[in-house]
């Protein structure tokens, strides 16, 4: 397997929207090249995290090396580098694309191009990858390959006259795809004489061997036993093991420029071997790292508090463990007067946040209260200091601050024409700035808006899906910070200010948000033996006020009388609810209340 001619290597990835068939096609390619026998293919090989499968998304990238004897009689090595399918992980996508010379653009022929596909195609074009369009699912009766070809040409400007018609499910077009990879994707450059530079495109933590790093050798070569340096961190390690992914790990002695592989070097945490970093030799280091490295920055923050204060230590341990395998996750202890001890955690985006929460609860058996997500505000104080504020309750009073800036994103949407109205309305209510709209063939439209990230992280995606009956897709990218008239909205429950419910909102929306929020809280907080006032305030000015009436005797009587099954059900419901309650003073507040802000539109 060693000493492959560089001219016979092809490195490629697959760009596809969720559900357009990337995993199915990848499996087919592995099968067709005999890399994995059909009977071994119990499950899809490329995405294999449990949560991933359940949610039908690709979170972690992986790679597979295939040997393929082409029609010209020559043996080729094809390295497939998988990319995560979600915008939260777009930096990782960009790094895995940089590791390739070409990409298959897989589009469902019965659906057409979606927003997420676009983002990744543009990334690939930016890095000069050869793109091979593949229209998948042509076995479906609703497939319209000609329409979808026209759509790809129109939106992306990619020539589709030679697009491959395929069905990953039925195995149609798979051979043609392999031949196209060999003939259209350029081989890597011959740079084996240069000092080693290898690009890390993924890594994961293994409790026995430490971090396993996936990399593409860009220049030079690397051997088992070599002492390597990671150029961003400056740390050095000795390679214990190195090899290729076929798709399981197969150890080798050496890898050359153009090849893709893995290594283990007793690295303790993935944060020490970050995606995008350059591996070089400690003895003969390269003069420059590979371009494009940035540290993944958390964009969305929330508070995580154990329902049971005794679980604080367990929560810290669980976060430490998750962090070993997730360089983008950040956490810091936080003390809240309402919630007690917990952690302020930072995530790449909402999906990343949900995944971490779910893993904490599922894999570590923790009961958590999660506060509403917040973005990072940039605040300039009157003294001229610039502070990054990721916790709204730490925003200082107006007289101490000069200005508050918030992150903005450009949101690209693709939707059937009939939903343009509802989507524009959604963007408008979210302080969106209209940028562009283009009608495509067959009644589909692209829509571009600029929006504050804060308005996007609060269930924008769910709203987009529900207003378009699931047909619209979206993608967003950061475009920078902008100043606006932002104020701090405080919530008081039973006259106690609740720091975990503090929000930063636009002044023009503050009244409506405050009003809606107290009404929602009234709905969500159960009745108590006493009257519970709920108020929203800006500074010392109360802008909305409600109260939850006290439980009356006859209500109680009704609960305790009646037939036994009804009583049981009540008790069960109480028991279920109990797990996710937090006491604020003498008031029991359910988890849903802390997320109420996400449900103001519904």
Instruction: Tell me how far apart the alpha carbons of residues 304 and 345 are, in angstroms, rounded to a whole number.
Output: 7
Minimum separation from the CB atom of position 54 to ligand GTP (A): 11
Of 169 and 316, nearer to ligand GTP (C-beta) is 169
Of 165 and 487, nearer to ligand GTP (C-beta) is 165
Instruction: Tell me how far apart the alpha carbons of residues 394 and 370 are, in angstroms, rounded to a whole number.
Output: 17
Q: What are phi and psi of 561, to 5 degrees?
A: -80, -150
Number of C-alpha atoms within 13 angstroms, CB side, residue 15?
29
Instruction: Tell me how far apart the alpha carbons of residues 492 and 571 are, in angstroms, rounded to a whole number.
Output: 29
In three-state secondary structure terms, 239 is coil
Minimum separation from the CB atom of position 507 to ligand GTP (A): 41
Minimum separation from the CB atom of position 169 to ligand GTP (A): 3
Minimum separation from the CB atom of position 292 to ligand GTP (A): 24
Minimum separation from the CB atom of position 27 to ligand GTP (A): 8
Minimum separation from the CB atom of position 137 to ligand GTP (A): 4
Q: Tokens representing 382? A: 């009157």
Of 138 and 245, nearer to ligand GTP (C-beta) is 138
Instruction: Tell me how far apart the alpha carbons of residues 524 and 264 are, in angstroms, rounded to a whole number.
Output: 50
Minimum separation from the CB atom of position 110 to ligand GTP (A): 8
Beta bridge partners of 426: none
Minimum separation from the CB atom of position 18 to ligand GTP (A): 4
Of 85 and 289, nearer to ligand GTP (C-beta) is 85
Question: What residues line the site for ligand GTP (CB under 6 A)?
Answer: 16, 18-24, 47, 56-58, 85, 136-137, 139-140, 167-169
The residues, any chain, with a CB within 8 Å of residue 451's CB and separated by 6 or more, are 408, 409, 411, 427, 430, 431, 432, 433, 460, 476
Of 85 and 258, nearer to ligand GTP (C-beta) is 85
Of 16 and 182, nearer to ligand GTP (C-beta) is 16
Give the CA distances from residue 423 to residues 410, 414, 505, in Å, rounded to whole numbers and listed in that order: 15, 10, 22
| 216 sits in which H/E element | strand 210-219
Task: Name the residue among 204, 234, 206 with its Cα closest to residue 52.
Answer: 204
Of 18 and 487, nearer to ligand GTP (C-beta) is 18
Of 167 and 463, nearer to ligand GTP (C-beta) is 167
The residues, any chain, with a CB within 8 Å of residue 464's CB and separated by 6 or more, are 413, 423, 426, 472, 474
């Amino acid at each position: 397997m060693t000493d492959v001619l560089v001219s016979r290597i092809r490195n490629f990835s697959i760009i596809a929207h969720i559900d357009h068939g990337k995993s199915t096609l990848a499996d087919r390619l592995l099968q067709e090249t005999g890399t994995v026998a059909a009977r071994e293919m119990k499950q899809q090989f490329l995405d294999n995290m449990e949560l991933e499968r359940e949610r039908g998304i690709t979170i972690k990238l992986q790679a597979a090396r295939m040997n393929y004897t082409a029609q010209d009689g020559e043996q080729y090595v094809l390295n497939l580098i998988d990319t995560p399918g979600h915008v939260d992980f777009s930096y990782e996508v960009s790094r895995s694309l940089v590791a390739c010379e070409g990409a298959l653009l897989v589009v469902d022929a019965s659906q057409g191009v979606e927003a997420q596909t676009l983002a990744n195609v543009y990334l690939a074009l930016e890095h000069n990858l050869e793109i091979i369009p593949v229209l998948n699912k042509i076995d479906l009766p609703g497939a319209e390959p000609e329409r979808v070809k026209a759509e790809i040409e129109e939106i992306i400007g990619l020539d589709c006259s030679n697009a491959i018609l395929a069905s990953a499910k039925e195995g149609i077009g798979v051979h043609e795809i392999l031949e196209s990879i060999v003939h259209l994707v350029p081989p890597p450059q011959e740079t084996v004489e240069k000092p080693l530079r290898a690009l890390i495109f993924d890594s994961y933590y293994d409790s026995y061997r430490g971090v396993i790093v996936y990399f593409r050798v860009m220049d030079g070569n690397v051997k088992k036993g070599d002492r390597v340096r990671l150029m961003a961190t400056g740390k050095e390690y000795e390679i214990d093991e190195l090899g290729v992914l076929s798709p399981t790990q197969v150890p080798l002695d050496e890898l050359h420029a153009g090849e893709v592989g893995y290594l283990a070097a007793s690295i303790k945490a993935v944060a020490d071997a970050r995606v995008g970093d350059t591996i070089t030799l400690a003895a003969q280091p390269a003069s420059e790292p590979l371009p494009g490295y940035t540290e993944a920055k958390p964009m969305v923050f929330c508070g995580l508090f154990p329902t049971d204060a005794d679980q604080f230590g367990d929560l810290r341990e669980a976060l430490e463990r998750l962090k070993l395998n997730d360089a983008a996750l950040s956490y810091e202890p936080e003390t809240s007067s309402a919630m007690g001890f917990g952690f302020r955690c930072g995530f790449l985006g909402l999906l990343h946040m949900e995944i971490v929460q779910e893993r904490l609860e599922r894999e570590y058996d923790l009961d958590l209260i999660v506060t509403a997500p917040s973005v990072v505000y940039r605040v300039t104080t009157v003294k001229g200091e610039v502070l990054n504020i990721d916790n709204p309750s730490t925003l200082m009073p107006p007289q101490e601050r000069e200005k508050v800036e918030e992150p903005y994103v450009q949101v690209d949407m693709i939707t059937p024409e009939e939903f343009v109205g509802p989507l524009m309305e959604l963007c408008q209510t979210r302080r969106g700035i209209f940028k562009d709209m283009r009608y495509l063939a067959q009644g589909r439209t692209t829509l571009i808006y600029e929006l504050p990230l804060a308005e996007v992280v609060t269930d924008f995606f769910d709203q987009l899906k529900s207003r378009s009956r699931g047909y619209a897709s979206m993608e967003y990218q950061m475009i920078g910070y902008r100043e606006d008239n932002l104020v701090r909205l405080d919530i008081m429950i039973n006259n106690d200010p609740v720091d975990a419910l503090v929000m930063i909102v636009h002044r023009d929306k503050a009244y409506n948000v405050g009003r809606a929020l107290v009404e929602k809280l009234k709905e969500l907080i159960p009745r108590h033996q006493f009257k519970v006032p709920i108020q929203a305030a800006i500074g010392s000015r109360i802008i909305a006020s409600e109260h939850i009436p006290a439980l009356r005797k006859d209500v109680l009587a009704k609960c305790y009388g009646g037939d036994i099954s009804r009583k049981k059900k009540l008790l069960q419901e109480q028991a279920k609810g109990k797990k996710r309650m937090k006491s604020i003073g003498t008031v029991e507040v359910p988890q849903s209340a802390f997320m109420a802000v996400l449900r103001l539109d519904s």
